[in-house]
Chains A and B, each alone.
Chain A
């Protein structure tokens, strides 16, 4: 059984249309204690709705959703962003890749993948993140900070996210390397809208993320 995990924080404006597109699938939405009506909007759809009683961060919300999916017998898990930047049509491509690999990672920079309206500053930042990942995990990837990925049950059991905030993206890759899981990048299309850019990571936060990731070894 395929489960789609969507971490959501203050996405009332777009989560409705995302869930609309995903209707008919097994979806678990983890509301990370949003201060807007995200929860109310999500509750109108046929989804499993989980709510963090306090705000913990996207990494924690992802892990909550993954844990829940595993408890419910998920065979495959796809992580999907709530802000509308991912395409539902990419899900099948990721799932297909799971027949031969433990993990399928979406990439907007692979050939035939695409990043509509990606600003140059964001492109440079993502390249730096890819370099950091290569240095810290040895994985050579084109896109290290893509929320669209597919995990086999085996991989989902191994990848336990303890980075509650944004450094989880790097941690997932570190765990793939650590557990020697097989992986492949799959080209996906990321739609940058004014909304998703405003909601996405600010440049200034990248230093915080780096700090969280580097101090990991002390925990």
Chain B
């Protein structure tokens, strides 16, 4: 096993453990995370497999496929976080407004 494979596997494993241990998420989310982890481990151990999948999808190189998938996932996550951020901002506003009205100083 090459050094980069060890590094990647350690990194992925670390992410998965942190996710499962510290983020109490839905069972489905944990399943998805575990499946993604398995896929990542598989492609790290057998990098040639990415080429096969890439060809099937009409992409020339395995690394290109990885890049495309990454861009797609990243965009999706960015949107997810944006909407989450917006919801938090809305909650914060409602909370601040309720406090301001409750503590109003009348003349």
Residues of A within 8 A of B (CB): 28, 30, 43, 45-54, 56, 60, 63-64, 67-68, 71, 162, 164, 218-219
Q: Which of B83, B90, B101, B107 contacts A64 (CB 8 A)?
A: B101
Tell me, rounded to whole Å, the shortest Cβ–Cβ distance linking A201 to chain B: 21
B100–A164 contact, CB under 8 A?
A: no
Of all A-B residue pairs in the complex, the 5 with the closest CB atoms, nearest first, are A46-B107, A49-B105, A50-B100, A64-B97, A52-B96
Are A49 and B104 touching (Cβ within 8 A)?
yes
Q: Give the residues in chain B near A68, CB-CB below 8 Å.
A: 100-101, 104
Q: What's the nearest-Cβ distance from chain A to residue B103, in Å?
A: 7
B68: CB under 8 A from chain A?
A: no
Residues of chain B at interface, number, CB under 8 A: 17
**Residues of B bordering A, CB below 8 Å:** 82-83, 86, 89-90, 92-93, 96-97, 99-101, 103-107
For residue A65, which residue of chain B has the nearest CB? B100
Q: Are A43 and B105 in contact (CB under 8 A)?
A: yes
Instruction: Kindly identify which residue among A45, A50, A164, A218 contacts B101, using a CB–CB cutoff of 8 Å.
Output: A50
B100 touches A64 (CB 8 A): yes
A53/B107 contact (C-beta < 8 A), A60-B93, A164-B89, A164-B93 known? no
Are A162 and B97 in contact (CB-based, < 8 A)?
Answer: no
| B100 and A53 form a contact (CB under 8 A) | yes
Instruction: State A51–B100 Cα separation when bound (angstroms).
Output: 5
CB neighbours of A63 from chain B (8 A):
97
| Sample of 6 further A-B pairs with CB below 8 A, known A48-B106, A60-B96, A71-B101 | A48-B104, A50-B101, A50-B105, A53-B96, A54-B96, A64-B97
